[in-house]
Amino acid sequence: MKHAISLRIGPFGFRVGSAWPEPIIALAHLYHGYPAPHDRVADFSVRLEPERPWRRWLRPSVAIRGDFMLSDAAPMALAHGLLAAEMGMNLQMALGQRRYLLLHAATVERDGRALLLTGESGAGKSTLAALLGEHGWRLMGDEFALLDLDRGLFHSFPRAISLKNGAIALMEAQVPASRFGPRLESTPKGAIRHLRPGDGAIADMDKPARPAMILFPRFGFERAVRPVLGAEAFVRLTQASTNYVALGEPGFMALTGLVGQAPARAIDYPDGESAIALIEQLWAELKR
């Protein structure tokens, strides 16, 4: 392809090729400081191409292509080329992963121990992960948690954090402008702006962490905490996994191992500040 970038995020090498320069320039800025893929070989490739050759000139529209495809990976306006690249990278991961149990969840680490945050879209996973990443935690990932099937450790996958709507201003107030990508208006999820994780998250991306706590956050409610028993946590995590069924017995053993060792809580929170305070309190109680 005419324009391309190769980079490594955690264990995986990606190559993104594009018919246009803009998405690649945006990715190069957003992923500044990320290493090259191991042995220069990408595990996943994403191609951004004109939907039809003539559309490149008439009404530019990006179609995502790659090793694994979903039929509903809709073409997007060229202005959203960066978003298309990010979606394509997620898609390759979600569909092609066999080495790790993949959970749709954010992970942060402290003292070698990982905190998993999972919940439905809108629960605030990305926002909480971004906030925690600026408040003494190492961000391991805001989108996918990678649980290895042999040792039961979480591995880091610190892609750019996808901030939506209200979370954008919240983080703009705390993080230098140089770590942000362009603001993308009117995407299918509203306004989106990507945030590069802090330098520590990139430098330590090869350090795994042992699961210590699982949280199911819910944004927009009065502060509340409820213990979640193992079997309920297990069921909710199978629903949060993109490849549990495909992995079979190794996935079953990895997930029961995770739920067996890390206590789970459902938390409700009205805003980011109270969520951070609540998470710190639960974390401190865990250590006692």
State the residues that interact with other proteins by CB under 8 A: 229-231, 234-235, 238, 245, 248-249, 252-253, 256, 259-260
Other CB atoms closer than 10 Å to residue 176's CB: what's the count? 8
Taking the complex as a whole, the smallest distance from the CB of residue 266 to other proteins amounts, in Å, to 15
Distance of closest approach, residue 230 Cβ to other proteins, in angstroms: 3
Q: Closest separation between CB of residue 241 and other proteins, Å?
A: 11
Give the residue with the Cβ less far from other proteins, 112 or 260: 260
| 3-class secondary structure per residue, 107-164 | EEEECCEEEEEECCCCCCHHHHHHHHHCCCCEEEECCEEEEECCCCCEECCCCCEEEE
Nearest distance, CB of residue 211 and other proteins, angstroms:
15
Q: Output 153 or 253, the one with its CB closest to other proteins.
A: 253
Q: What is the largest CA-CA distance in the chain?
A: 64
d(CA 7, CA 44): 10
Q: How far apart are CA 217 and CA 269, in angstroms?
A: 7
Looking at the Cβ atoms of 204 and 232, the one nearer to other proteins is: 232
Residue 169 vs 235, nearer CB to other proteins = 235
DSSP 52: S
Closest by CA position to 63, among listed 78, 45, 51? 51
**Which residues of the chain form beta strands (DSSP E)?**
3-9, 12-18, 44-50, 61-66, 76-77, 100-110, 113-118, 138-141, 144-148, 154-155, 161-164, 180-187, 190-195, 210-219, 224-228, 264-269
* Beta carbons of 69 and 90 less than 8 angstroms apart: no
Nearest distance in Å: CB 236, other proteins = 12
**Per-residue tokens: 36:** 């090259």
- Supply the minimum distance, in Å, between the C-beta of residue 177 and other proteins: 47
The residue (of 78 and 254) whose beta carbon lies closer to other proteins is 254
Nearest to other proteins of 27, 237 (CB atom): 237
Residue placing its CB nearer to other proteins in the complex, 171 or 259: 259
Residue 226 Cβ vs other proteins, minimum distance, rounded to whole Å: 14
